[in-house]
Amino acid sequence: MSRLLIKHGRVVDPTQRLDEGLNVLIVDGKVARLAERIEDKDAQVIDATGLVVAPGFIDVHVHLREPGFEYKETIASGVAAAVAGGFTAVCCMPNTQPPNDSAAVTEFIRARAAEAGLARVYPVGAVSKGLEGEELAEVGEMVRAGAVAFSDDGRPVHNAYLMRRVLEYTQLFDVPVVDHCEEPTLVAKGVMHEGAVATRLGLRGIPAAAEEVMVARDVVLAELTGGRVHIAHLSTRGALDRVREGKARGAAVTCEVTPHHLALTDQAVADTSFDTDTKMNPPLRSPEHVDALIQGVLDGTVDCLATDHAPHHADEKALEYDLAPFGVVGLETAVPVTYDLLVRKHKLPLRLFVALWSSNPARLFKLPGGSLKVGSPADITLLDLNARATVNPDRFRSLSRNTPFAGQRLKGWPGATVVGGKVVWRRERK
């Protein structure tokens, strides 16, 4: 019997409304006991003095790039980055090569993840064969192989008929459909948010409306079908309003917001003078959108946070702004960026912050974990809220370095990561 005892920590568990000093005993990979005093001389002991003990953080939106783009990231490097960022589980998007549109690819991803260990990996299957938006993929086969949600991420499900049918069909399995919402004809050749900054820089803009028209459509289709729509990387005020209205009418619509869309504005493109690490899709928005997103987090309209971790090789990013690929890495900066912004600056209660990263995503994607209740898998994130550090991409575990946060000094970092009762990562203490 393997035993782990986490002592002297501040346990914050939204699923039990807990925020108090408790010891946590883990036996055979499961939470066995929570109490003010636990002594167990057979257990490995972690001294969590000064640390927050939270349900393991889950990132429901990452790109691990394997199979097909192993020069950007592999499943092994991706989970190493995840645990170093405080994440115990990730959901990986299907836009690999070949895409994850069949049980065989889903099984391959699961097998690679099992070899890599460290974090848990939950594959997201493709909605359509080849991500081409025309034929429904074998959703049921992929569910059997371990897929937890469906998406053509990187692209929207542009065909409304297909979106309607997948929202109906997936109800057989009770899994969400995750949509990357953008109307391609409105995006046109845009590379950053359409607004005064893009105009001054002479870069083609992506209007907020490109996202909003498709979110509006998805909310309507969720109501029509009763299916579950999860809006990926929501980034505009109008899109948030559509989700808020949909929820009020009882539609099964949820949404995630990324750290970069909360912490940065389109001004970053000008301030960095065309640094391609500010290029992602959806693009960094103007302050009125960013303010609305922060408000949406504070008022509970935003269901969870997710990174949209999108590794790209340095050679690919060292191109003209128009030619560089969209995307930034996020796993190793997400916790400090969001803690610093939401809890320290905007006074989001810590319990809600923890929920946005753990219990909420677990509930939306029906994943094990996200709770420290007795009997739950012992996936635990320890947070060192007093730690201050500067983001240094050279120390990333990810194979890629494309972050817009390099050089930022942030407070509130992960301290250790426990998956299935094993300590898989600990922060080096100076």
Partner 1 sequence: MTVKAAPRLRGKDLVGIDPLSPGEIQLILDTAEQMRDIAQRPIKKVPALRGKTVVNLFMEASTRTRFSFEVAEKRLSADSLNFSASASSVSKGETLLDTALNLEAMQPDFIVLRHQYAGAPHQLARILKSSVINAGDGAHEHPTQALLDALTIRLKRQTLEGQVVAIVGDLQHSRVVRSNILLLSRMGAKVRVAGPPSLIPVGMDAMGCEVYRRMEEAIAGADVVMMLRIQLERQGRMNFPTVREYYDFYALTPERLKLAKKDCLVMHPGPMNRGVEIDSRVADGPQSVILEQVTNGVAVRMAVLYLLAGGNGEPAAD
Catalytic residues: 308
Q: Does 322 bind partner 1 (CB under 8 A)?
A: yes
Compute the distance between CA of residue 128 and CA of residue 353 in angstroms, rounded to an integer.
Answer: 34
CA-CA distance, 253 to 227, in Å (whole number)? 9
SS3 414: strand
Q: Give the shortest CB-211-to-partner 1 separation in angstroms.
A: 16
Q: Answer yes or no whether residue 386 interacts with partner 1 by CB under 8 A.
A: no
The verdict on 344 binding partner 1 (CB under 8 A) reads no
Applying CB under 8 A, does 194 fall inside the site for partner 1?
yes
Choose, by CB under 8 A, the member of 323, 344, 345, 390 that binds partner 1.
Answer: 323
Pairing of strands 177-179, 229-231: parallel
**Which range, of 28-36, 83-91, 104-112, 321-329, touches partner 1 by CB under 8 A?**
321-329
Instruction: Count, in order, helices (H) and strands (E) of the chain.
Output: 15, 18
Candidates 79-87, 168-176, 196-204, 378-386; binding stretch for partner 1 (CB under 8 A): 196-204
- The residue (of 31 and 268) whose beta carbon lies closer to partner 1 is 268
Q: Half-sphere exposure of 6 toward its Cβ, with a 13 Å CA cutoff?
A: 34
Asked if residue 48 lies in contact with residue 414, where contact means CB atoms within 8 angstroms, the answer is no
Which residue of 273, 347, 375, 429 would you call a contact of partner 1, by CB under 8 A? 273
Q: How many residues bind partner 1 (CB under 8 A)?
A: 21
Task: Give yes or no for residue 86 binding partner 1 (CB under 8 A).
Answer: no
Which CB, 131 or 197, lies closer to partner 1?
A: 197
Q: Nearest 5°: phi and psi at 121?
A: -120, 120
CB atoms within 10 A of CB 423: 16
| Pick 203 or 387: Cβ nearer partner 1 | 203
Q: Which amino acid is at 131?
A: L
- 211 binds partner 1, rule: CB under 8 A: no
Neighbours of 425 (CB within 10 A): 23
- Residue 407 Cβ vs partner 1, minimum distance, rounded to whole Å: 15
Q: Which of 195, 361, 404, 415 binds partner 1 (CB under 8 A)?
A: 195
Report yes or no: 65 and 97 within 8 Å, Cβ to Cβ: no
Among 169, 173, 321, 326, binds partner 1 (CB under 8 A): 321
Asked if 274 is part of the footprint of partner 1 (rule: CB under 8 A), the reply reads yes
Q: Does 97 bind partner 1 (CB under 8 A)?
A: no
51 or 269: whose CB is closer to partner 1? Answer: 269
Tokens of 300: 């509970």
DSSP 128: B
Q: Return the residues of window 289-318 that contact partner 1 according to CB under 8 A.
A: 315, 318
Nearer residue to partner 1 within complex by CB, 23 or 400: 400
HEC states along 21-70?
A: EEEEEEECCEEEEEECCCCCCCCEEEECCCCEEEECEEEEEECCCCCCCC
Using rule CB under 8 A, residue 393 touches partner 1: no
Q: Does 277 bind partner 1 (CB under 8 A)?
A: no
Question: Helix or strand or coil: residue 234?
Answer: coil
Is residue 38 within 8 A of residue 64, CB to CB? The reply is no
For partner 1, the binding residue among 144, 200, 373, 409 (CB under 8 A) is 200
- What does the longest C-alpha to C-alpha distance in the chain come to? 66
Burial class for 89, CB neighbours closer than 10 Å (0-12, 13-18, 19+): buried
Neighbouring-strand partners of residue 143? none
Q: Which is nearer to partner 1, 99 or 190 (CB)?
A: 190
Q: How far is the CB of 318 from partner 1 (least distance, A)?
A: 5
**Tokens 């509970």 belong to residue:** 300
385 binds partner 1 (CB under 8 A): no
Sites for partner 1 among residues 54-83 (CB under 8 A): none
d(CA 366, CA 228): 12
| Under rule CB under 8 A, residue 199 binds partner 1 | yes
Torsion angle in degrees (nearest 10) through CA of 93, 94, 100, 106: 0
Interface pick for partner 1 out of 94, 205, 414, 420 (rule CB under 8 A)? 205
Q: How far is the CB of 193 from partner 1 (least distance, A)?
A: 10
What burial letters (b/e) apply to 113-123, b meaning 16+ CB within 10 Å?
Answer: beebebbbbbb
Note whether 224 binds partner 1 by CB under 8 A. no
Among 320, 375, 407, 430, binds partner 1 (CB under 8 A): 320
Smallest gap from Cβ 67 to partner 1, in A, equals: 25
Q: Give the binding site for partner 1 (CB under 8 A).
A: 194-205, 273-274, 315, 318-323
